[in-house]
Structures are given as C-alpha cells and as structure tokens.
C-alpha cells in the first residue's frame, strides 16, 4: 500500500542530502531551498509551527544570546520539540540578519574548513528538524497502517457479523461501530482508546493515548442513505474532526466512515491518486478519510451496476 506520507519522508531526506552535496558557492542557496520546501508544504509547515507555538523565540531572545549559546555549546533542550523549534527559528533569524549566501562564513559556524562548517550547520541545526519530522510522519503512517489493517479485517472477515449488529439495532448505531474499532485499536497496542472527553467543540468518538502529549483523535461517521446518513453526514464529520484537532492542538485528524450503503464512495481530492487514504490539507493540518465498506451486499456476480457517490474537496471546505 502506498501510504500518503512515504513520499514526503523521502523528500525530506533528499533535501538534506542536497545540502550535504552542495559546493561552497551553492550551500547558502540550497539551505534556502530546503527551508522554502519546509514552508511550502502545508503538512510540514503545520508540524513545525506546532513546535514554535510551544517554544517561541523572538529576535530579542537571540540577540541576548552569548557567543557560546549561539555556537550551541551551552544550550539545553527539554525535548525534540524544543530543539526543533529552536533550530528552525535560529536559522531563520540568522538568515534574516545576515542573508543566506555567506551564512557558512559567519564566526558562530566557522570550523577548520568549508566541509567541517557545512557538517556543523547540517548536523547541529538541520538534522534535528529532519529527524523530528521523520518521527512525526512515521507515527502518522503507523496510525494509517492500523486503520488500513482494521479496514481489511472488517471487509474480509467480520463484515457480515458487524452488519447484522448494525441492522438489528434500533438506536446508537455509531456506538456499535465505535466499540468494534476501539477493541481493535486496544488489541493493536493503542493505550486507553476508550475516553471521549468533552472538549470545547464537543465529544470526539475516540481519543487514544489521551494521557500522552500526542493523543490520537478519530471521528466516526456512517454513510447509509436508507437512514438519511448521506453526504451531509460526512461533511459534518469533517467539520467536527477539524474542530477536535484544533481543541487538542493536533496537526493530524482521522475521519473513519463506515459505508453501510450499496454505493461506493469516491473522494475526489487534489493529488490523491494511488495514495491511501485520501486526505485534505486544511488550515495547516492534514485530515485522512478511511472508508470501511461494511455493507453485506450481494456478490459481484449479482450486484449489477454500481453507483458511485463522489465527494470533492470543495464540498467539504467551502464557506
């Protein structure tokens, strides 16, 4: 399965490698290109901004630093988040003050020769940012992998049983599906996927690892036109997961849609071809849409013409 973050992780490594390969005259330009690439990708920009929100630095803060602190000799960081925030803001500060072309000639970076200086800049200031972003993207991919595994498990093995529970219920339809997904997540090592604490925007369906600094926020919706759960239900789910991501200061949100309808859902989003799951970048955050085809429909030989329900990015984000 081609996960959505795989190419981005590869791009990060390539941008860093280009910086390492840059000759003397091009090093400053390559550094500027790397930072521009980070700034121009909404998902990366959101991840970096999250660190800055927690550990902001002003020009005055950097102006007051001692020479040893500027060289990184006396700096202590609380976490990778803190180090990432510092490195990103410090490099931006230095470029704003001195430009990017002669950055490697500044006293605070100077070493025996250009190659040593280049290594110091990359390893002390760029690598911490790249490593942090890799870790965040890996965690997102792990969550996507678990949700894909649940999708396959349901569609291949447990769909009939789950569909019967849903069809025979007279209320609390989503609760049946929530419980099934929660049990799966718990079995897969997600601690405490039970709590649904009330936030400023209401109550999310699943909050996993709520006691950690990086909780998993999942919203569940049903698509079933026989119960009047149509496209508006999915739009409402997207609206809710955006609000919950803001409430919990998350840069990623997951909307799981149980398709109990005979129709197929097609999310027609920008740049999502051959990528699982489809996603939207919105307000410097990324939101994933995982469809669980749960209806116990007729076999392929008897199903006839399949209806497709298309959902576009414009429908979800229009004001």
Q: What is the pLDDT of residue 203?
A: 59
Query: Distance of CA 179 to CAs 21, 165, 210, 312, Å?
Result: 52, 12, 17, 29
Quick check: is 158 in a domain? no
Query: Distance of CA 273 to CAs 9, 74, 240, 270, 279, Å?
Result: 18, 48, 25, 8, 11
HEC states along 10-21? Answer: HHHHHHHHHHHH
Residue that terminates a domain, selected from 80, 115, 133:
133
Distance between CA 301 and CA 303 in Å, rounded?
Answer: 6
User: Do 312 and 175 share a domain, yes or no?
Assistant: yes
Give the single-character DSSP code of 56. Answer: -
pTM over 0.85: no
Distance between CA 99 and CA 10 in Å, rounded?
Answer: 28
Inter-residue contact 237 to 229 (CB < 8 Å):
no
The count of C-alpha atoms lying within 13 angstroms of the C-alpha of 280, restricted to the half-sphere facing its C-beta, is 24
User: Do 37 and 125 share a domain, yes or no?
Assistant: yes
Inter-residue contact 181 to 196 (CB < 8 Å):
no
User: Do 298 and 175 share a domain, yes or no?
Assistant: yes
pLDDT tens sequence across 32-55: 999 999 999 878 988 898 899 899
Our count of domains for the chain comes to 2
User: Do 179 and 306 share a domain, yes or no?
Assistant: yes
Structural domain including 302 reads 169-317
Quick check: is 37 in a domain? yes
User: Do 176 and 311 share a domain, yes or no?
Assistant: yes
Inter-residue contact 285 to 250 (CB < 8 Å):
yes
Beta bridge partners of 257: 221, 291
Among 86, 1, 94, smallest CA distance to 52 is for 86
User: Do 242 and 294 share a domain, yes or no?
Assistant: yes
Quick check: is 157 in a domain? no
Among 197, 65, 68, 208, smallest CA distance to 142 is for 208
Q: What is the pLDDT of residue 100?
A: 77
Beta bridge partners of 282: 285
pLDDT tens sequence across 187-229: 888 776 554 555 555 555 555 554 455 667 889 999 999 999 9
User: Do 245 and 307 share a domain, yes or no?
Assistant: yes
Distance between CA 173 and CA 221 in Å, rounded?
Answer: 10
Q: What is the pLDDT of residue 302?
A: 62
Distance between CA 137 and CA 101 in Å, rounded?
Answer: 31
Instruction: Return mean pLDDT, the chain.
Output: 85
Quick check: is 138 in a domain? no
**54, containing H or E segment:** helix 42-54
User: Do 126 and 175 share a domain, yes or no?
Assistant: no
Quick check: is 153 in a domain? no
* Ranges under pLDDT 70 in the chain: 1-6, 66-74, 192-215, 271-274, 297-304, 319
Distance between CA 9 and CA 47 in Å, rounded?
Answer: 13
User: Do 100 and 201 share a domain, yes or no?
Assistant: no
Q: What is the pLDDT of residue 195?
A: 47
Residue that terminates a domain, selected from 87, 118, 133:
133
Quick check: is 48 in a domain? yes
In the chain, the N- to C-terminal Cα span, in Å, equals 34
Residue that terminates a domain, selected from 83, 117, 133:
133
Among 169, 142, 158, 172, smallest CA distance to 292 is for 158
Distance between CA 294 and CA 225 in Å, rounded?
Answer: 14
User: Do 304 and 229 share a domain, yes or no?
Assistant: yes
User: Do 191 and 118 share a domain, yes or no?
Assistant: no
Length of the chain equals: 319
Inter-residue contact 236 to 202 (CB < 8 Å):
no
Quick check: is 304 in a domain? yes
User: Do 25 and 72 share a domain, yes or no?
Assistant: yes
Quick check: is 155 in a domain? no
What phi and psi values does residue 196 have, to the nearest 5 degrees? -125, 70
């Amino acid at each position: 399965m081609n996960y959505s973050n795989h190419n981005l992780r590869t791009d990060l490594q390539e941008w860093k490698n280009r910086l390492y390969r840059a000759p003397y005259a091009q090093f400053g330009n390559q550094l500027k290109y790397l930072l521009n690439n980070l700034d121009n990708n909404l998902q990366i920009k959101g991840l970096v901004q999250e660190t800055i929100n927690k550990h902001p630095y002003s020009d005055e803060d950097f102006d007051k630093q001692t020479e040893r602190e500027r060289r990184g000799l006396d700096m202590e960081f609380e976490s990778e988040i803190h180090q990432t925030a510092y490195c990103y803001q410090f490099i931006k500060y230095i470029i704003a003050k001195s430009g990017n072309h002669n950055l490697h000639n500044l006293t605070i970076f100077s070493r025996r020769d250009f190659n040593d200086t280049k290594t110091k800049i990359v390893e002390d200031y760029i690598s911490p940012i790249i490593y942090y972003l890799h870790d965040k993207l890996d965690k997102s991919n792990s969550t996507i992998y678990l949700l894909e595994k649940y999708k396959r498990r349901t569609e291949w093995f447990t769909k009939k049983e789950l569909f019967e529970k849903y069809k025979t219920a007279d209320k609390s339809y989503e609760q049946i599906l929530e419980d099934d997904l929660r049990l799966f997540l718990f079995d897969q090592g997600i601690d405490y996927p039970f709590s649904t604490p009330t936030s400023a925007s209401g109550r999310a369906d699943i909050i996993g690892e709520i006691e950690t600094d990086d909780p998993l926020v999942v919203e569940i919706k049903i698509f079933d036109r026989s119960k009047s759960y149509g496209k508006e239900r999915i739009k409402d789910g997207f609206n809710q997961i955006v609000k919950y991501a803001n409430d919990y200061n998350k840069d990623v949100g997951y909307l799981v849609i149980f398709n109990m309808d005979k129709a197929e859902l097609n999310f027609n989003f920008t740049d999502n071809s051959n990528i699982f799951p489809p996603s939207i970048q919105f307000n410097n955050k990324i939101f994933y849409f995982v469809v669980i085809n749960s209806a116990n429909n007729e076999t392929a030989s008897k199903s006839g013409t399949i209806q497709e329900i298309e959902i576009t990015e414009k429908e979800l984000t229009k004001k």
